[in-house]
Amino acid sequence: MLIPKSKPLMVPVPREPNFHISEGKYRAQIISVKKVFVEKLNGTGELIRLLFEVRVPTLPKKQNLAKAEFKLDLSCGSELRNILNRLLGRQALAEVAGGSFDLEQLVGMEVQIEIEHVITSHRDEYTYPLVKVCDIQKLETMPLSENVEVKK
């Protein structure tokens, strides 16, 4: 009797998360929108955290991530409202004025982001800079960094 040759037991290995991204302009996808609470001197504040999966062609085996946090405020001129106006158009918020807006609809949106490194005295214990998303735009509205390929 022949014993059948066993098949190899293949298990997928997920990409490792990586927040160490070089400065530049990248294509990205919003993969998470969460409300987070921060302790302040005058009480607790609410922020919205956008988590991006960033397409970095030089790091294809990593899950390249970046985050941006904004005060939970959709007043005219607020940072969060300005971002939403750029991504969705002014009409999107104008249509729901006086009501509410579901930020979860941003999940899955393809965008372009600009990443910068911030170096502060509070980062002495780290060997890498604080990676900050300093700009978020609709696709095809900002030139990508030269070392970044646009894949459609």
- Tokens 């900002």 correspond to 142
Is the pTM value of this prediction over 0.85? no
How do residues 109-121 score in pLDDT, each as one tens digit?
A: 999 999 998 877 7
DSSP 57-102: TT-TTEEEEEEEEEES--STT-HHHHHHHHHH-HHHHHTTTTS---
Cα torsion at 53, 109, 50, 60 (round to 10°)?
0
How do residues 95-143 score in pLDDT, each as one tens digit?
A: 999 999 999 999 999 999 999 988 777 656 666 767 789 899 998 877 7
When mean pLDDT is compared over 7-16, 33-42, 46-55, the highest value belongs to 46-55
Instruction: Spell out the domains of the chain, with CATH numbers in brackets.
Output: 16-138 (2.40.50)
Q: Give the closest residue to 64 by CA, choosing from 127, 150, 131.
A: 131
Q: Considering the chain, what is the average pLDDT of its residues?
A: 87
pLDDT at site 9: 87
pLDDT at site 151: 40
- Tokens 């607790």 correspond to 44
Number of other CB atoms surrounding residue 122 within 10 Å:
8
For residues 4-18, b (16+ Cβ closer than 10 Å) or e, as one string? eeeeeeeeeeeeeee
pLDDT at site 123: 59
What's the N-to-C CA distance of the chain in angstroms? 53
How do residues 63-92 score in pLDDT, each as one tens digit?
A: 999 999 999 999 999 999 999 999 999 999
